[in-house]
Every structure is written in structure tokens, then in C-alpha cells.
Amino acid sequence: MMAVRGGPIELDPQQLRAVFERALSNVLAGRGIKVCSPLDSQTFHALGCVCAAYPDVPEQLIAEARAVFSDQLNGAHELDGLPSFMRHDIG
């Protein structure tokens, strides 16, 4: 979900992947990361690690950023950012 004037909008996985690929391209070119994006905090952090390694970014960091983004796409990060008491089933 991405916040825009008038409320949030949903991005489909293909659109989200395009945002990620553009962000990855930017950090690999030394241009940094846009703060306002639909990428979650884990993906943002992984891209930050790639950015910090510029100009000699190891392939392993790129692969890790792609893996973290893949986790975002499959919903693995959905509960992150919630207080711990909200992450457990009650019952």
C-alpha cells in the first residue's frame, strides 16, 4: 500500500517489483533511496546496505536485497512493526 494525497492505494506485485527494481538501480548508481515508497522497512534496510557499499557492491548484498524484497512480496513481513502482543494469536 502506498499513501498518496486522498488516501492509500494498493500496488499489485508487478508494480511493487517495478518500484523495487527502480530503487535497486538507483542505489547501485549511487543515487540513494527515496524515503517515501511502498517498500517495507526490511526491504528499505536491505537497499540501504547496498547503498552503503557503493561503489563496490558485492553481488551477495544484491542477492540479499532481492531475497528480502521477495519476502515482502510473499507477506513474510506483514506482522513486522506491530507490538509483540499483537503478533500472537489469542485463544
What confidence score (pLDDT) does residue 36 get? 87
Rounded to 10°, the helix 59-73/13-28 angle is 160
Residue 78 CB neighbour total at 10 angstroms: 11
| pLDDT tens column, 6-19 | 555 689 999 999 99
Residues 6 or more apart whose CB falls under 8 angstroms from that of 74 comprise none
Residues 22-34, mean pLDDT to the nearest whole number? 95
Instruction: Quote the pTM value.
Output: 0.77
Q: How far apart (Å, rounded) are the C-alpha atoms in residues 70 and 58?
A: 19
